[in-house]
DNA sequence: ATGGCCAATTCGATTGGA
């Protein structure tokens, strides 16, 4: 089976590319982030025409996540259990479901904005709630994975120029410790192949020729438990989807499994 | 060919992204 995660930066703006991509790649399950629409505006019918069911957790112009599956979609949980609120709002940043043989989460971790900002504390609290929420499944015998935009570059090599990130979010020890805490629960980082250049970046800023100059970051991650990671045949970043007019600033991460 | 931001929203300056 083939699963993938993709921060689409508006599913409405990305719909033509998304539908064509699902068909051309034969993806069985797609974890979507930044739908940027209300749940009622989610293009569930268009996806159904292609044979996909959708589980959507979205409220409006910001955030929003979904799971899109053609191999079943059951036991849907919307939201992060025990997750923190930001300015009194429980934002739609997580949805989980069982798709065929695997249990999956699609997550959009808060950005953090600036180190020391309220949003940064919120980001770390959100990570801790995620860790607590996945403990049981991470240690379980069934294939399980958390996929999405984690908004953290796990290692120095995961950003194009570390000197440009001095004092910035996405690379701080506290954020990386939050990823390490997830790994200590039994999840491992399924690192994709790059299809060009030496690093598997998944995000390139729209500004200043970020993509043509390969000024990227690896922040879209697949964290799988042992049964999941052991079934991985291949994984790659589909940088072709970052090209051209109407691209998201993130590329899909694809994982092929013997399941 | 991969090109000097993009998307949603009070319809256009603002917010958020990372």
Confidence class of residue A67 from pLDDT cuts 50, 70 and 90?
A: very high
pTM value? 0.97
Report the half-sphere exposure of A201 (CA within 13 A, side-chain side): 23
* Residue A161 contacts strand B, CB under 7 A: no
CB A239 within 8 A of CB A195: yes
Task: Please give the helix or strand (H or E) that residue A228 lies within, else none.
Answer: helix A226-229
Q: What is the pLDDT of residue A66?
A: 98
**Tokens 């964290």 identify what position?**
A223
Residue A57 annotated in active site: no
Would you say A34 is a known binding-site residue?
yes
* Residue A60 contacts strand B, CB under 7 A: yes
Q: For A112-135, what is each residue's pLDDT tens digit? A: 999 999 999 999 999 999 999 999
Confidence class of residue A170 from pLDDT cuts 50, 70 and 90?
A: very high
Q: What is the pLDDT of residue A206?
A: 95
Q: What is the pLDDT of residue A173?
A: 97
Q: How far is CA A205 from CA A34, A136, A224, in A?
A: 16, 36, 27
Residue A201 annotated in active site: no
Residue A158 annotated in active site: no
Which two tokens mark A109?
């971790």
**Domain boundaries A2-257, CATH class:** alpha beta
- Catalytic-role residue among A52, A86, A108, A120: A108
* Residue A212 contacts strand B, CB under 7 A: yes
Q: How far is CA A103 from CA A3, A76, A137, A169, A197, in A?
A: 12, 10, 8, 30, 32
Q: What is the DSSP string of A47-105?
A: HHHTT-EEEEE-BSSS--EEEEESS--EEEEES-TTPPPBTTB----EEEEEETTEEEE
Domain boundaries defined on chain A: 2-257
Q: What is the mean pLDDT of residues A137-158?
A: 97
């Amino acid at each position: 089976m083939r699963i993938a995660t993709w921060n689409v930066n508006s599913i409405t703006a990305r719909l033509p590319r998304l539908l064509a991509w699902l068909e051309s790649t034969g993806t069985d399950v797609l974890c979507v982030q930044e739908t940027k629409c209300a749940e009622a505006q989610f293009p569930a019918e268009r996806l159904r025409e292609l044979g996909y069911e959708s589980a959507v957790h979205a409220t409006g112009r910001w955030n929003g996540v979904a799971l899109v599956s053609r191999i079943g979609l059951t036991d849907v949980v919307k939201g992060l259990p025990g997750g923190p609120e930001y300015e009194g709002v429980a934002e739609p940043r997580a949805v989980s479901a069982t798709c065929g043989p695997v249990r999956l989460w699609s997550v959009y971790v808060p950005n953090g904005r600036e180190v020391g900002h309220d949003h940064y504390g919120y980001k770390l609290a959100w990570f801790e709630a995620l860790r607590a929420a996945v403990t049981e499944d991470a240690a379980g015998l069934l294939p399980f994975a958390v996929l999405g935009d984690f908004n953290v570059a796990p290692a120095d090599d995961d950003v194009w120029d570390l000197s440009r990130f001095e004092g910035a979010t996405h690379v701080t020890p506290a954020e990386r410790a939050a990823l390490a805490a997830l790994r200590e629960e039994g999840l491992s980082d399924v690192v994709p192949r790059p299809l060009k250049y030496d690093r598997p970046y998944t995000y390139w800023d729209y500004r200043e020729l970020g993509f043509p100059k390969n000024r990227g970051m690896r922040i879209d991650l697949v964290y799988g438990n042992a049964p999941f990671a052991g079934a991985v045949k291949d994984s790659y970043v589909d940088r072709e989807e970052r090209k051209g007019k109407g691209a998201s600033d993130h590329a899909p991460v694809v994982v092929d499994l013997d399941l």
